[in-house]
Amino acid sequence: MQRYKRNVFKRLMHVMLMKDQSLVRKLFVFCALLVVVPIGFIGFFTYENSVEVFENEARSNSWQIIRQVNTHIEYYVGDFEIEVLKILNNQTITHFLQMDSQEEFESSGMESNVKRILQNEAYSRSDITNITISLNNVATEDALDVRFNRFHPIESFQTELFQKILPNTGETVIVPRTLTDGENKEYVISIARRLFSQKTLKPIGFIVMDVNFKRFKEIASQVNIGHSGVMYIVDAQGNYVYNPSFSELGKKASLQGMREILQGESGSFVTSGKEKDLLTYSHSGFLGWTVITSIPYKELIKSSVYIRNTIFITTLLTLLAAAILGVGLASSIIKPVRGLQKTMKRVEKGDFSGQVKVLSKDEIGDLTNGFNKMLIRLNELVNEVYLSKIRETEMMFRQKEMELNALQAQINPHFLFNSLETIRGMALEYGMEDISDISASLAKLLRYNINNNSKTVTLAEEILQTKVYLRIQKYRFDEKLEYEFFIPEWAKNQTIAKFSIQPIVENSFKHGIELSGGISRISITALQESDDTYVIRIKDNGIGISQERLEEIRRNLRQKDVIDEGQGIGMVNVHRRIVHLFGDKYGISIHSSKGNGATLSIRLPMY
């Protein structure tokens, strides 16, 4: 018998351990059990506990909201009770309340004074719609003015209505009412209290203050009850005092469990039915109202459902990962893969030397062999690309140098021809001193351009050569040319591309000043644009540039090569040299309009 039991136990263990199954299947089943069972228990208890936690948090938050709403409303209503006391303590109102008959009131002439006091109090606050004082057998006065107010109570304002609902204790009663003009409606809260004679202490009438729902809307808008939760307020009889749908005001509340809600002080429960809601309520002894919050149960457990679904998806993904891992282990690919991984890390660092040892002739072996061939080819390609990059860089530097030399070598001969013509004309008309001055200035310009091999100079040097050029032009234009320089001390040592300003000034003469009549003016100013940038601004009062020509010049500055022919080469020359020397963010910009001269700006880096 014992031997039989041992055999049964061995067979059972044999089946449980799946000794006759493949390694892949064993790994998959065992991993599935290790994953599904623990995560299943964890998911179940987590879901149940999270539902309870979220429900308790929702109740707690709802009670906090209700307490805040009750506090706000109680303070709010308390303010109106103070307003009522202020009205009743007014001397005119006190005198009015002491009258015994309608004849006495009419003969006193107090009606306009009483109405004005009520109107002043009503107009002092935007949330007061009307104030009414009714004195038994004397008169009923309110703050409404038919000339300016269109709303009147739907029901006739009879004393029996308030005589019925107002207690003889002097306590304040709050009821919802409706005002209408026949087409439009306005919902109000009426705060009423009974009035008593100071002599006999018997009831003599009542005072009613109608408050619109402006403040109640503000309080409700500040209440955030989840994404789709709502708030209700009901009175002691179960009628809606506040409902997001104003058409329900004054009607019986149709919420589940209203009997329990009206009988209890506070509580919370989940309604029954297909669409469940979590109702939380609390009673205000001061107002006699009950504030109720309603949150859809679907929204309440939304996070719990998300947790449940996340756990389920995580379980499936984990099972999939376990299956892949089992297949990988059973196929014995870990060792060659690790070898490949180690070599790949070396390749990532740029080390293409070494080969991965091929351990088998299967797919992994073929992969390893292919990887080794790829390493050899990559090493060859990297060497080719590296040498090609070096050659390309050298060619680029040579090309840049040639471009700079070509840019600097291009000088518009227009000025040289004009200067020689000026010298020839003055030789015929004037003495030798002027000719000597012009010749000396021209020599300075030529020496500045030819002898100085540097591509950049200081702004002071460039300004000096520009002044020499303008002095020559002054001989030509005489009193018709005026020029001025505004160069601060900080700017004089700043770096500028050699021969940058003179070609721009020459363009002003060639295209603007020579064609204009009257006195021509040129100003050259240095301004600091930012901490690392300054601008040379060259302004003239020439004939200006048409919009079409201005767009063409700007297009040339962006696209035209200095080896191209055509107009504007001098300006393009300067712009290209500045870009090559200092970068794309620097260079020339131009602004002009027909008949209003031109302003050209050279943007340069500060050092």
Cα separation, 582 vs 561, in Å, equals 18
Q: In Å, how far from its chain's centre is CA 437? A: 66
Give the span between the Cα atoms of 474 and 461, in whole angstroms: 20
**What tokens appear for 354 in the block?**
């070494």
Task: For residue range 568-589, list pLDDT tens digits in order.
Answer: 457 888 898 898 889 889 999 9
Instruction: Yes or no: say if 474 and 481 are a contact pair by the CB < 8 Å rule.
Output: yes
Helix (H) or strand (E) holding 454: none
What average pLDDT does the segment 338-342 reach? 72
Among 29-38, 186-195, 343-352, whose mean pLDDT is lowest?
Answer: 29-38
- Report how far residue 242's alpha carbon sits from residue 371's, in angstroms, rounded to the nearest whole number: 76
Distance separating alpha carbons of residues 504 and 521, to the nearest angstrom: 14
How far apart, in Å, are the Cα atoms of 32 and each of 18, 20, 178, 277? 14, 18, 68, 39
**What backbone torsions phi and psi does residue 538 show, to the nearest 5 degrees?**
-110, 115
Among residues 52, 70, 40, 106, the alpha carbon closest in space to that of 223 is found at 70
- pLDDT score at 587: 93
* CA atoms of 311 and 301, how far apart (whole Å): 15
Single-letter amino acid code for the residue at 363: E
- Which is more confidently placed, 186 or 417? 186
Q: What is the mean pLDDT of residues 429-457?
A: 66
The residue with greater pLDDT, 56 or 439, is 56
Q: 240-256, pLDDT tens digit by residue?
A: 777 777 777 777 887 88
Say what the pTM is: 0.41
Whether 311 contacts 23, CB under 8 Å: no
pLDDT at 142 over 80: yes
Contact present, 438 and 417 (Cβ < 8 Å):
no
CA 289 to chain centre: 42
C-alpha 30/C-alpha 52 separation (Å) is 34
- pLDDT of 491 > 90? The answer is yes
**Distance set, CA 462 to CA 349, 502, 524 (Å):** 51, 8, 12
pLDDT band at 154 (very low <50, low <70, confident <90, very high): very low
What's the mean pLDDT in 219-235?
76
Termini Cα distance of the chain: 103
Query: Which residue type does 524 have?
Result: I
